[in-house]
């Protein structure tokens, strides 16, 4: 009996954890951490390490709250899509009141940690990001316009800004460069996914670009965005934020992403769209890792 109850408790915990979209949140916190590290010249002090640790936790909690709230809003849509039908809210394993209470608790705890132990600016920027993603993007933009990813990408591009604000108490131009990179990265990343998931999006009723404007138009947009992104990724070097190590990584990754986009335009296949989507994840992760490494080399 005890083993059964313990298993049930772990199962419930796992369901609530799934609401937080762990892989997405890990990337968010990683990008925020990059902002924190770059904001501190040289090696951080123990006090700064402590602030960064609390900031990462607070940002994780608020971002997880936004993800859980998103699961409530998109419950019916998630149930229609293979990629999201497993989510606890889509399957009815967790009720909307349970999920809402969970989201509110995470948001309140994360906001309190940021306000008390980091600084008020970081708390308000993080909360604004929550509202931007969970309400402005999910509730308003996503079901209304095929430009949802472009406009809503502003919320997803905020983590480095949050990290920078956590360590400095302000938002510098360097943080805005990092914001720009993620903002421009977001559309080709999601449109590559939408291309090979187009039938799911069509069934869901969401006006994603491949549904409203077709595959070829979407692939042209991906090429254009990867070219502009390539230029934006050079800004850290041009502005003096980074050195030659980062520049080499940015050029290799940029050429790679543009190459995938061009191949996708010329000779489309679902497998190539999947490969492009996967490479986009590698692109952002390795690019920011190169920034981090370059900062200390």
Per-residue model confidence as pLDDT tens digits over 218-265: 999 999 999 999 999 999 999 999 999 999 999 999 999 999 999 999
pLDDT at 161: 95
The overall average pLDDT reported for the chain is: 87
Q: Is residue 241 packed enough to be buried (19+ CB in 10 Å), middle (13-18) or exposed (0-12)?
A: middle
Distance, in Å, from the CA atom of 270 to the CA atom of 194, rounded to the nearest integer, reads 10
145 — pLDDT class (breaks 50, 70, 90): confident
The CATH number given to 14-171 is: 1.10.357.140
- Residue 234 dihedral angles phi and psi, to the nearest 5°: -85, -15
Percent with pLDDT over 70 in the chain: 91
Place of tokens 């009141």: 97
pLDDT at 22: 85
200 or 47: which carries more pLDDT confidence? 47
Q: Which of 8-12, 114-118, 210-214 has the highest mean pLDDT?
A: 114-118
Supply 245's token pair.
């190590």
Distance, in Å, from the CA atom of 49 to the CA atom of 43, rounded to the nearest integer, reads 10
Place of tokens 């909360």: 127
83 — pLDDT class (breaks 50, 70, 90): low
Whole-model pTM: value is 0.85
Distance, in Å, from the CA atom of 269 to the CA atom of 87, rounded to the nearest integer, reads 28
Place of tokens 């934020």: 241
Number of CB atoms found within 10 A of residue 144's CB: 11
Distance, in Å, from the CA atom of 265 to the CA atom of 146, rounded to the nearest integer, reads 19
Supply 104's token pair.
């509110």
List Cα–Cα distances, 29 to 14, 41, 59, 282, in angstroms.
20, 20, 7, 16
Question: Mean pLDDT over residues 210-218, rounded?
Answer: 90
Contact call for residues 25 and 80 (beta carbons, < 8 A): no
Q: Which tens digit of pLDDT belongs to each residue from 171-196?
A: 989 999 999 999 999 999 999 999 99
Contact call for residues 35 and 160 (beta carbons, < 8 A): yes
* pLDDT at 134 > cutoff 80: no
112 — pLDDT class (breaks 50, 70, 90): very high
Supply 292's token pair.
């981090």
Q: Which tens digit of pLDDT belongs to each residue from 254-286?
A: 999 999 999 999 999 999 999 999 999 999 989
Check residue 138 and report its DSSP letter. Answer: I
* pLDDT at 214 > cutoff 80: yes
* pLDDT at 54 > cutoff 70: yes
Contact call for residues 142 and 14 (beta carbons, < 8 A): no
4 — pLDDT class (breaks 50, 70, 90): very low
pLDDT at 3: 41
pLDDT at 84: 67
Contact call for residues 191 and 218 (beta carbons, < 8 A): yes
264 or 144: which carries more pLDDT confidence? 264
* pLDDT at 117 > cutoff 90: yes
Number of CB atoms found within 10 A of residue 85's CB: 12
């Amino acid at each position: 009996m005890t083993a059964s109850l313990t298993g049930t408790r772990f199962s419930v915990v796992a369901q609530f954890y799934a609401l937080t979209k762990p892989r997405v949140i890990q990337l968010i916190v990683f990008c925020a951490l990059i902002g924190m590290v770059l904001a501190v010249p040289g090696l951080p002090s123990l006090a700064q390490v402590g602030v960064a640790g609390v900031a990462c936790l607070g940002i994780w909690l608020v971002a997880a709250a936004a993800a859980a709230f998103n699961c409530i809003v998109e419950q019916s849509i998630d149930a229609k899509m293979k990629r999201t039908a497993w989510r606890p809210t889509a399957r009815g394993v967790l009720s909307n009141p349970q999920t809402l209470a969970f989201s509110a608790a995470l948001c309140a705890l994360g906001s309190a940690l940021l306000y008390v132990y980091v600084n008020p600016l970081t708390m308000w920027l993080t909360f604004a990001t929550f509202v931007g993603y969970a309400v402005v993007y999910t509730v308003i933009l996503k079901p209304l316009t095929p430009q949802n990813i472009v406009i809503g990408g502003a919320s997803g591009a905020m983590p480095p800004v949050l990290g920078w604000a956590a360590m400095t108490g302000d938002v510098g131009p360097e943080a805005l460069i990092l914001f720009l990179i993620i903002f421009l990265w977001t559309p080709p990343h999601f449109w590559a996914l939408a291309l090979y998931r187009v039938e799911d999006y069509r069934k869901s009723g969401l006006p994603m670009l491949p549904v409203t404007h077709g595959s070829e138009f979407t692939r042209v947009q991906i090429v254009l965005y990867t070219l502009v992104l390539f230029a934006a990724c050079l800004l850290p070097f041009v502005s003096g934020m980074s050195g030659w190590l980062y520049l080499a990584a940015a050029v290799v990754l940029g050429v790679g992403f543009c190459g995938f986009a061009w191949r996708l335009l010329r000779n489309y296949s679902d497998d190539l769209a999947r490969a492009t989507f996967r490479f986009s994840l590698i692109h952002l992760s390795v690019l920011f890792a190169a920034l981090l490494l370059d900062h200390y080399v």
